[in-house]
Amino acid sequence: MALEHAILVSLDERSGSGYELAQRFEKSIGFFWPATHQQIYRTLKRMVDLGWVSGHEVTQDGRPDKKVYEVTEAGHGELARWLAAPGEPETIRHDLSVKVRGASLGDSTALIGEIARHRDLHAERLDVYLAIEKKDFPAPAALSGRRLHQYLVLRGGIRAEQALVEWCDEVLAAMREDDRR
Amino acid sequence: MALEHAILVSLDERSGSGYELAQRFEKSIGFFWPATHQQIYRTLKRMVDLGWVSGHEVTQDGRPDKKVYEVTEAGHGELARWLAAPGEPETIRHDLSVKVRGASLGDSTALIGEIARHRDLHAERLDVYLAIEKKDFPAPAALSGRRLHQYLVLRGGIRAEQALVEWCDEVLAAMREDDRR
DNA sequence: GGGAGTTATGCAACTAGTTGCACTGCACCC
DNA sequence: GGGTGCAGTGCAACTAGTTGCATAACTCCC
């Protein structure tokens, strides 16, 4: 499981509470490993039991208290172990492909609409990623270390969304053409 | 959930037993919606309860008996409903991206090896898909209906794997360059 | 003083997917 | 007759992820 490891990576960058982690997962890390606050709280608890992180209460004024977690020695060890360990390539589950495959069994106009909607959603995400690239990484050739790694992950998101948009366009063109005949 | 719907699509193409379905999921449908035989048997049972498929025992000689399932009226209705219904874009969970993001926290040589391994795995899959494209769809412009849809889904797999291979190459080049400095 | 909004944590119940094992029947080969 | 291997179905126990709800403290605005 990689949620633990995603949390370790994130906490290593900067210690934080469950709530803060959940927010980070809304963007950046969450782009390629989404998680809800429930999952994060539960996992943090498990990670404390495993000794990978330690948490301590922080009293705040003006807002409720929180528990801030940081990575322990053991946590760093586990992270290093996991980074070097071989993993399976992702098993992708692509709903829309199942729908395209079954297209002849339903209303093709409705499905074309659904695909167009997904195309736009992916185009939107792509724009978000491209904006981040432009703003945060104006000179990629000069990057190194952690900043380089962040950039490379973003590049993965860009490539994936680009591929999806282009695929949707291909599907739309072919299905509309087929409908006309 | 789409496993039910993936099974409906597959059974609509051709009725079959749980075992046969599991084999189909090893290829074609399973490329973008993997499922084990366990999941398939359990889901088929649930689908019988829902009235979406009906199963009957088939006695065979030379091999064990089997239960062959086919899609019912209600199953076709559900499939049509689902095809037109809006769905969420996939939540991708990409392990390797988490690893790249955490690269500075472990042994970079080992991680580069791991990425190279994934690159090759994806390149292999891509070759498989390209071989199918060449063999089964030599004249894509002439396709229509179900055959066209199968082709389009294959195109999605090709684009996805291509994007992954290219991304791995980009990551490898950048990380090796960064290591040298 | 009352409601909406944000920060903050969590339980309970559910659905989905994985892993390991168990059983049957038959064929085919040594 | 003994091993391997394929066809065929399934249970049990587990891990992972989702959804709905509950609660608390504090701010800001009407």
pLDDT of residue B63: 80
Q: Which nucleotide is nearest to A16 (CA to C1')?
A: C8
Tell whether A171 and A107 lie within a shared domain: yes
pLDDT of residue B61: 73
For tokens 């994130």, name the residue: A10
pLDDT of residue B14: 94
pLDDT of residue A115: 97
Tell whether B80 and B147 lie within a shared domain: no
pLDDT of residue B25: 94
Tell whether A129 and A152 lie within a shared domain: yes
pLDDT of residue A144: 97
In a domain, A39, yes or no: yes
| Position B81 pLDDT exceeds 90 | yes
Distance CA A101, CA A105 (A): 9
Q: Provide the pairing of β-strand B53-58 with B66-71.
A: antiparallel
The count of domains in chain A is: 2
Among the listed residues A78, A6, A140, the one whose alpha carbon sits nearest the alpha carbon of residue B97: A6
Tell whether B123 and B53 lie within a shared domain: no
Tell whether A109 and A144 lie within a shared domain: yes
> pLDDT band at residue B62, thresholds of 50, 70 and 90?
confident
Between residues 42 and 81 of chain B, which touch chain A (CB distance below 8 Å)?
76, 79-80
Tell me, yes or no, if B91 comes closer than 8 A to chain A by beta carbon: yes
Hey, CA dihedral for A96, A98, A102, A106, is it positive or negative?
A: negative
In a domain, B46, yes or no: yes
Inter-chain contact B105–A80, Cβ cutoff 8 Å? Answer: yes
Rg over CA atoms, chain B:
21
Q: Under a CB-based contact definition with an 8 Å cutoff, are residues A148 and B178 in contact?
A: yes
Render A97-118 in DSSP notation, one character per residue.
Answer: HHHHHTGGGS-HHHHHHHHHHH
Average pLDDT, rounded, for chain B: 95
Inter-chain contact B104–A146, Cβ cutoff 8 Å? Answer: yes
In a domain, B22, yes or no: yes
Tell whether B99 and B77 lie within a shared domain: no
In a domain, A122, yes or no: yes
Tell whether A60 and A124 lie within a shared domain: no
**Chain C nucleotides with an atom closer than 7 Å to a protein C-beta:** 6-12, 15-20, 24-27
A139-175 tens-digit pLDDT: 999 999 999 999 999 999 999 999 999 999 999 999 9
Tell whether A102 and A176 lie within a shared domain: yes
Last residue of a domain, one of A51, A84, A117: A84
Hey, CA dihedral for B80, B81, B84, B88, is it positive or negative?
A: negative
Tell me, yes or no, if A121 comes closer than 8 A to chain B by beta carbon: yes
Last residue of a domain, one of A27, A57, A84: A84
pLDDT of residue B109: 96
Positions of chain A with pLDDT under 70: none
Q: Provide the pairing of β-strand A53-58 with B53-58.
A: unpaired
pLDDT of residue A59: 86
Mean pLDDT, to the nearest integer, of B64-74? 94
Mean pLDDT, to the nearest integer, of B90-106? 94
Inter-chain contact B86–A114, Cβ cutoff 8 Å? Answer: yes
Distance CA A63, CA A47 (A): 26
pLDDT of residue B60: 81
**In terms of residue numbers, what domain contains B160?**
95-180
Inter-chain contact B155–A175, Cβ cutoff 8 Å? Answer: no
Tell whether B38 and B77 lie within a shared domain: yes
Average pLDDT, rounded, for chain A: 95
pLDDT of residue B120: 97
All residues at 6 or more sequence positions from B80 whose CB lies less than 8 Å from its CB, including other chains: A105, A106, A107
Give residues 55-94 of chain B lying near strand D (Cβ < 7 A).
Answer: 60, 63-67, 91, 93
In a domain, B153, yes or no: yes
Tell whether B107 and B174 lie within a shared domain: yes
> pLDDT band at residue B82, thresholds of 50, 70 and 90?
very high
Tell whether A143 and A79 lie within a shared domain: no
CATH of the domain at A30: 1.10.10.10
Tell whether B124 and B173 lie within a shared domain: yes
Last residue of a domain, one of B84, B112, B127: B84
Tell me the CA distances in angstroms from B141 to A178, A180, B179, one per residue in order.
10, 14, 47
Distance CA B149, CA B168 (A): 29
In a domain, A90, yes or no: no
In a domain, A130, yes or no: yes
Query: Across the interface, which of B33, B98, B144 has its CB nearest the CB of A32?
Result: B98
B137-156 tens-digit pLDDT: 999 999 999 999 999 999 99
In a domain, B90, yes or no: no
